A = this chain, B = another copy of it.
Amino acid sequence: MTTILPHFASAGHAADKNCKVALLGFGTVGRSVARLLYARSNEHPLELTHVCNREVARKKVDWISPQVMWTEDIDELLASDADVVVELLGGLQPAHDWVRRALQSRKSVVTANKQLMAHYGSELLELAQAEQQFLGFGACVAGGVPVLSGLHDGLAGDRLIQVRGILNGTCNFILTMIEQAGSPFAEALAEAQEAGLAEADPTEDIDGLDAGAKLAILARVGLHIELRPQQVVCHSVRNVTAVDFEYAHELGCTIRQISTAKLVHGRIYAFVGPAIVPRDSPLAGISGSQNLVVSTGEFGGDTVFSGHGAGGNPTAVAVVSDLLQAVQHRLNGIQRSHRPAACSCEVTADFELQQYARFVVRDRPGILAALAGVFSRHHINVDAVLQRPGYMKSKLPFVITLEPCTESRLQAALAEIGGFDFLVETPLRMPILK
């Protein structure tokens, strides 16, 4: 019948702050991390001691302890007695240099920088191990959803063969808008920008580069494969229209931006882009800025992780969870790598999937025969033809679904089809993930 004692109280940390934390970057996530550290200050041994940002005078806030040292000078931070640097700069440079230098200064690092970890993860993990420092990056994928620790520790006993997920909240929001309100893509994007869910330049999100970086990190942690972000095949969601949702619904499905990395016969394929997913799949149930990852193991089958993929607080939870791991690392002096090394593996872009192809044509006799002829010559079997009534003959959208075929065959067929003069738009193709 005593009161609730906090998480770390039993270890006697409340009075004895023994891990000094420096924030490198004080934007939305940085402020949330600081607030979370203060809100739980009697429950953990973490003490915020430094904040490094440009224009400190403008950034300073009065709720931060006066003992905290503010600086604009990375050298001052690296020379300080901080134990852990939390890198929240984003982008490759100067983040890459500064994280290297922090590790070389015998500081542990916690980062939320997905591009940094996707491009330089292996190098930085090796450096961290050489310097006997902890490098945490749980916040890089799916914000507050503890998927990286789940794959790395909780499912270590399995042999994972696939990771798949909804990793970009901006795309998910835009596609939900198109589905629910029938908005054209440009309008849905503008709404996402107004709601603060898309950048002024949304390319990274909608063309798949953001999700691709996260997928590369998931592949390293879950599949133990070194996948370069450039090796991920990315298709944009720009060309998805309300008509595609109508046809997807007819198939008992919906459309989501899906990221998949899959091991098949010792090779890996990885792609990001809009895809047709069954409406009763957990992928279809994810709305707004939520994220979801499904891992598939040879022994344990499918495991699903989902939750808030973005936002200051969820990301701060991931950062502070990593900071607590860094504390354990320091207390126990763990010298072995806590993350197994990822290995290289042949990456193929020629994977075989069922496909959805949507055409918009000036209607006239013979179109279906022409298209079917091309697919047949490329040894692709047509599964079904869907044509809903009520569209204009001059701009008629219809769909052909294809039985599983390789990417190379599909591309060859679509290249040939591109020459037909009845096309009003470039065909949109999406894999059907059943």
Measured CB to CB, the residues of A under 8 A from B are: 1-11, 32, 36, 39-40, 43, 138, 143-150, 153-159, 224-225, 263, 266, 280, 282, 285, 297-308, 313-314, 316-325, 328, 331-338, 340-341, 343-346
Q: How far is the CB of A158 from chain B (nearest CB, A)?
A: 4
State the oligomeric state as a number of copies.
Answer: 2
Q: Which of chain B's residues have a CB closer than 8 A to the CB of A337?
A: 10-11
Q: Which of chain B's residues have a CB closer than 8 A to the CB of A224?
A: 4-7
Contact sample, A vs B, 18 pairs, CB 8 Å cutoff: A2-B343, A7-B340, A39-B298, A43-B159, A144-B301, A145-B303, A146-B303, A149-B153, A157-B317, A157-B321, A157-B323, A158-B320, A158-B321, A280-B285, A282-B282, A301-B308, A303-B306, A304-B304
Q: Are A150 and B146 in contact (CB under 8 A)?
A: yes
Q: Are B159 and A144 in contact (CB under 8 A)?
A: no
Given contacts A156-B324, A334-B334, 4 further A-B contacts (CB under 8 A): A36-B157, A146-B153, A153-B321, A300-B317
Q: Are A304 and B306 in contact (CB under 8 A)?
A: yes
* Bound complex: CA A8 to CA B153 (Å): 13
Q: Are B144 and A343 in contact (CB under 8 A)?
A: no
Q: Which of chain B's residues have a CB closer than 8 A to the CB of A159?
A: 7, 39-40, 43
- Pick the contact of A144: B1, B300, B345 (CB < 8 A): B300
Q: How far is the CB of A329 from chain B (nearest CB, A)?
A: 10
Q: Which of chain B's residues have a CB closer than 8 A to the CB of A138?
A: 154
Q: What 5 A-B pairs have minimum CB-CB distances, sorted nearest first?
A: A146-B154, A157-B320, A144-B300, A157-B321, A303-B307
* Bound complex: CA A7 to CA B161 (Å): 12
- Pick the contact of A320: B156, B304, B321 (CB < 8 A): B156
Q: Which of chain B's residues have a CB closer than 8 A to the CB of A144?
A: 155, 158, 297, 299-301, 303
Q: Which of chain B's residues has its CB closest to A37's CB?
A: B157
Q: Are A314 and B336 in contact (CB under 8 A)?
A: no
